[in-house]
Amino acid sequence: MAQLIEGRAVAEKVYEELRGEIAQLRERGVTPGLAVVLVGDDPASRAYVRSKDKMCRELGLHSVKLELPAATTQEELLARVEVLNRDPAVHGILVQSPPPKHIDEGAIVRALDPAKDVDGFHPANVAKLALGDASGFVPCTPLGCQRLLVESGTQISGAHVVVLGRSMIVGKPMAMLLMQKGKQADATVTVVHSRTRNMQEITRSADIIIAAIGQAQFVKADHVREGAVVIDVGINRVDDASAQRGYRLVGDVAFDQVSPKAAAITPVPGGVGPMTIAMLMANTVKACRQQT
């Protein structure tokens, strides 16, 4: 049976490291600050914002939680972002995705000060990732996936990694991150997606599979070779009458099928999810260090 790569345990290790860094910054009279902006009342987004705010407070960070009504205009949101850009107590800014349909999300991301873009989506930070410039910010989920691979003892250098999905949130930055030169990267990366031919043939050649395709239990046993390491980024609700809430959460990987073949695998929930928030906190502390 596969080794379980427990995201919560690795996230706790990240927090322990951050507590030391935060203490050093505070000795210099600086408290790292994160502002999270939520437009509208999407329940999942609200839950994410709550958990980010809670973790900020647990670590002793300065936390700004800005909840705006769904009717907030593009101009009003841009004005709020500009105020945060200029606020010296705020080192990181995150505008929770997705915003209401009338908001141009790309324009909001481009309005962020790249030095405070702790989500790593500003074009300047995307370019820095492509260039291997360590001063930029890498999106939190790919960064968390890389840390899970490192902490589980997985050999990344020289490995063939197959990333399922080509989003700007996970797929593309994940590929760029693992292609970098360095002991925690140096992988040969293939990206597959909904238009890929012979997908199973490609995924079966992978030493490491990172599934971020957004389809519940898409990756089956016949996608995976014996001894592969599987990182499941997906989180999907599936109806389940036997569950208390009427549904359960599953990943993009059919866990029961794949885990007997894999050398190591992340669970859903409890795998990649906790790491995303941990790396957001890490990016915020890094932003504070770089700005001060």
Catalytic (active-site) positions: 52, 96, 119
Q: Kindly provide the b/e burial profile for residues 22-40, where b requires at least 16 CB atoms within 10 angstroms of the residue's own CB.
A: beebeeeebebbbbbbbbb
Q: Is 92 helix (H, G, I), strand (E, B) or coil?
A: strand
- The residues near 174 (Cβ < 8 Å, ≥ 6 apart) are 141, 142, 145, 163, 210, 212
End-to-end CA distance of the chain: 47
Q: Kindly provide the b/e burial profile for residues 62-79, where b requires at least 16 CB atoms within 10 angstroms of the residue's own CB.
A: bbbebebeeebeeeebee
Phi-psi region of 254 (alpha: psi -120 to 50; beta: other; left: phi over 0): beta
Here the tokens at position 118 are: 């702790």
Overall size of the chain counted in residues: 292
Task: Please list the residues that pair with 237 across neighbouring strands.
Answer: 249
Single-letter code of the amino acid located at 285:
V
Tell which residue, 218, 200, 143, 211, has the closest CA to residue 173.
143
Task: Please list the residues that pair with 68 across neighbouring strands.
Answer: 39
Chain position carrying tokens 């908001």 = 103
- Give the containing element (helix H, strand E) for 162: strand 160-164
Backbone angles phi, psi at 181, to 5 degrees: -80, 135
- Give the containing element (helix H, strand E) for 208: strand 208-211
Here the tokens at position 247 are: 């549904």
Q: Is 166 annotated as a binding residue?
A: yes
Binding residues: 165-167, 235
Binding residues for NADP(+): 165-167, 235
